[in-house]
């Protein structure tokens, strides 16, 4: 197995009928970097929510959490 992580490239299409909230949020941004960065932010925040807290995500990914960046208020109490 290769120890070097390779970038992931994806091409995707989405209609408003499939995912209306996500579509309406992303369509506000011009195609390109701003839209991709918004999708990355939504994905990261969704993973934090899905895994129920930042400690678990941090342990798996080794990334700094959004609370450590100071981008949001106090870290919520997760069960």
CA atoms of 44 and 50, how far apart (whole Å): 10
pLDDT tens digit string along 13-70? 999 999 999 999 999 998 889 999 999 999 888 887 777 765 555 555 555 555 554 4
pLDDT tens digit string along 2-12? 568 888 888 88
CA atoms of 39 and 27, how far apart (whole Å): 11
Dihedral of alpha carbons 68, 69, 73, 79, sign:
negative
């Amino acid at each position: 197995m290769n120890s070097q992580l390779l970038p992931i490239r994806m091409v995707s299409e989405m209609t408003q009928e499939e995912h209306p909230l996500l579509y309406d949020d992303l369509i506000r941004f011009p195609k390109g970097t701003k839209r991709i960065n918004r999708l990355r932010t939504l994905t990261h925040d969704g993973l934090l929510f899905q895994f129920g807290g930042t400690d678990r995500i941090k342990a798996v990914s080794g990334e700094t959490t959004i609370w450590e960046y100071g981008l949001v208020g106090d870290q919520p109490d997760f069960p």
